[in-house]
Amino acid sequence: MPSLRLQGLAFLLLMGWGVWQGIAALSSDAARSRLAPVMTGTDFLAGRTAAAINHVMAHALPADAWLRAAGGSIRYVLFRSGGPQVRLGCDGWLFLTEELRPWDGAAEAMAARTAALARIEGRLREQGVALAVVLVPDKARVQSASLCGAPLSEQAAARHDAAFSALRAAGLARVVPLLPALTSEPALYYRTDTHWNQRGAALAASAVVAALGDVDLARDKAFRTEAAGEETDGPGDLLRLMGLDRAGWPRPAPDRERRETTTEQDGSEAGGGLLDDTPAPEVALVGSSYSLNANFHGRLQEAIQGVVFNGAKAGGGFAGAAREYFTGPTFAESPPRLVIWEIPERVLVQPIEREEREFLARW
């Protein structure tokens, strides 16, 4: 019957499409990098090869981005949901679920981390290095008027004040609160991204430097910040978590900005590197993706009037960047006069993983 032949043809086409998707995924550079270390008989018998293949098939299909976009669009339109990692506010504002939820063992994690910061400050002081701890408030706190019903746990609501009090109680000499600066104007975070926007980053940098008056720094460099001539889309990590970063419509409109760049006044880009024939930077910045976004690093150099080595790490949590910096050759060979440790408030209460626990125990 014609209908059966059509069904059979459709089944064969679907199977062929699936085979092509699988072959393309396993042939990608990302797949080769993941599979190469586990292509041994021992790995195969232990199940590691199969686990790596499953990961590739789950994340590297050519159609994956478009399937995620279709699923994200349906979820957004029909259910007004951003998925498990994103909560919808009003007027296109999006918020990271991590900022809103409670965490088990929050008080113990915060106590362990603040005690570690005090120990690290003491060790740095012995080496003639000052430490400034910069507490970054959650976007949900700064832009709370745009939550519009997104559920905020009691723990999250009280977290910033609890964190600031704990840092002060630990005896840290320099704890920089950014909440006053970041609530001094409306909309200092991106609508569709977790981080502060360029104006928020500039105000945060100025607030940090204003709190460093007692630190002896040369302050002998001049920097200038300029904006690009044309607007482009902002970063939009929350759109990506919703699966809508590649969707044209329907989705919340992306942020728009004129991308800023900070350079030394002689025109050389202010990168804070250590490979040039120049003195090592007096200031080092460690922290999270906040220090990598919206030109915060450039604005910090402009405000501090000096080159700042940027050792921040996206996804590094509380101590990922600090662990790499303090145990690496840069700090050992060229210690700065000042370390600025930028910490998002929410990471203070999140569970402490093994690598971080071992680092904190050593320090």
Are 295 and 270 in contact by the 8 Å Cβ rule? The answer is no
224 φ/ψ angles, rounded to the nearest 5 degrees: -135, 135
Kindly tell me if the per-residue pLDDT of 70 is higher than 80. Answer: no
Task: Assess if residue 343 is contained within a domain.
Answer: yes
Task: Assess if residue 346 is contained within a domain.
Answer: yes
Helices (H), the chain: 2-26, 29-35, 41-46, 48-59, 64-79, 97-100, 106-126, 139-142, 154-169, 179-182, 198-210, 237-241, 296-304, 320-326, 329-333, 354-362
Q: Do 324 and 204 sit in the same domain of this protein?
A: yes
Task: Assess if residue 197 is contained within a domain.
Answer: yes
Q: Do 40 and 126 sit in the same domain of this protein?
A: no
CB count within 10 Å of CB 141 equals: 21
- pLDDT at residue 1 in the model: 54
For β-strands 260-264 and 232-233, DSSP reports them as: unpaired
Provide the number of structural domains found in the chain: 2
Kindly tell me if the per-residue pLDDT of 220 is higher than 60. Answer: yes
Last residue of some domain: 62, 92, 114? Answer: 62
CB count within 10 Å of CB 194 equals: 26
- pLDDT at residue 238 in the model: 98
Residue type, 198: Q
Go through 318-331 and write b for each residue having 16 or more CB atoms within 10 A of its CB, e for each that does not: bbbbbbbbbeeebb
Helix axes of 296-304 and 198-210: crossing angle, nearest 10 degrees:
30
Q: Do 353 and 267 sit in the same domain of this protein?
A: yes
Per-residue pLDDT tens for 3-45? 656 655 654 654 554 455 556 556 667 667 666 776 787 777 7
Q: Do 49 and 116 sit in the same domain of this protein?
A: no
| CA–CA gap between residue 67 and residue 18 (Å, rounded) | 13
Q: Do 196 and 272 sit in the same domain of this protein?
A: yes
Last residue of some domain: 34, 62, 90? Answer: 62
Kindly tell me if the per-residue pLDDT of 225 is higher than 90. Answer: yes
- pLDDT at residue 38 in the model: 66
Task: Assess if residue 68 is contained within a domain.
Answer: no
- pLDDT at residue 4 in the model: 57
Average pLDDT over residues 109-131: 97
For β-strands 130-136 and 175-177, DSSP reports them as: parallel
What's the domain range around 13?
A: 2-62
Q: Do 51 and 169 sit in the same domain of this protein?
A: no
Q: Residue 308: name the closest of 168, 132, 120, 164 by CA.
A: 132
- Percent helix, strand, coil in the chain, to 5, is 50, 15, 40
Instruction: Categorize the per-residue pLDDT at 59 as very low, low, confident or very high, splitting at 50, 70 and 90.
Output: low
Task: Assess if residue 93 is contained within a domain.
Answer: no
Q: Do 194 and 282 sit in the same domain of this protein?
A: yes
Task: Assess if residue 79 is contained within a domain.
Answer: no
Task: Assess if residue 331 is contained within a domain.
Answer: yes
For 130, the 3-state DSSP assignment is strand
- From residue 261, how far is each of 11, 279, 294, 302 by CA, in Å? 53, 23, 9, 11
- pLDDT at residue 69 in the model: 63
Task: Assess if residue 72 is contained within a domain.
Answer: no
Strands (E), 247-306: 256-257, 260-264, 283-286
Q: Do 272 and 353 sit in the same domain of this protein?
A: yes
Q: Do 287 and 341 sit in the same domain of this protein?
A: yes
- pLDDT at residue 9 in the model: 61
Q: Do 200 and 270 sit in the same domain of this protein?
A: yes
Last residue of some domain: 11, 32, 62? Answer: 62
Q: Do 344 and 274 sit in the same domain of this protein?
A: yes
Per-residue pLDDT tens for 240-290? 999 998 777 788 999 999 999 999 997 544 545 444 557 889 999 999 999
Q: Do 54 and 113 sit in the same domain of this protein?
A: no
